[in-house]
Amino acid sequence: MSLTLFNLTGRRALITGSSQGIGLALAKGLADAGASVVLNGRDEKKLKDAASQFASPVELLPFDVTEHGAARAAVDAYEAEHGAIDILVNNAGMQHRGPLEDFPEDAFERLLRTNIASVFNVGQAVARHMIKRGRGKIVNIASVQTALARPSIAPYTMTKGAVGNLTKGMATDWAKYGLQCNAIAPGYFETPLNAALMADPNFNSWLEKRTPAGRWGKVEELVGACIYLSSDASSFVNGHILYVDGGITVSL
């Protein structure tokens, strides 16, 4: 009986930024749990390559999550033609490293649009339909930097702090309509976004000593948290930020 709470059969999940890395891993995990999966990204070829990795057919919904109008138009059209989006995973994100005193303005603006505006844009577009149905799951991808900072990524840290607080705001506004809005905050995972850090022996040594688990996370280790927050098992969980970080946020 209890395991049926995690069954996503009959649910449809839209995962933004799902052509690679964490987004792709989460999409595969939700599909394995029974969900119908809709992949999103700007590069349709990359989406098709990602889709070829699934055992069952998946749908593609390419649009730019940083554009409010494009997000709303794409979501509205999809719902009208195909039906309900039951689960939204706001995963699209980017990183740019550099000293704060010299941080480029254009990079700062891209971080704002990609890491914060996208969560608002797609979250609002999907929530409008969920509210009418009286149910829905929104899972935002935050970060260990939602709680902590480290040198050279102050603007990124700011954006992920905002994702955490926007998640709380979504829950506060939309829980009364039957939506559960929560976030997963990954620690340091082996992803293309972290390729530069993974190639740095000094950083690797620091991370292994700093993380109680003593290693990088593997993207598959985020799947359980996503299934939980996407399923009936989390029906009374709202505005929560679930850290999946090997213990880094609880240890000095």
Domains, the chain, ordered by start: 2-244 (3.40.50.720)
pLDDT at 192: 85
**Residue 156 appears among annotated catalytic residues:** yes
The arrangement of strands across the sheet holding 59-60 comes to: 59-60, 36-39, 12-15, 87-90, 136-141, 179-186, 241-244
pLDDT at 53: 97
pLDDT at 1: 58
pLDDT tens figures, 29-72: 999 999 999 999 999 999 999 999 999 999 999 999 999 999 99
pTM surpassing 0.85?
Answer: yes
The radius of gyration computed from the CA coordinates of the chain, to the nearest angstrom, equals 17
Catalytic residue of the set 78, 156, 188, 243: 156
Which residue type does 152 have? S
Write out residues in the chain with pLDDT < 50, as ranges: none
179 token code pair: 């939506």
User: How many angstroms separate the Cα of 29 from the Cα of each of 40, 55, 87, 220?
Assistant: 16, 12, 13, 8
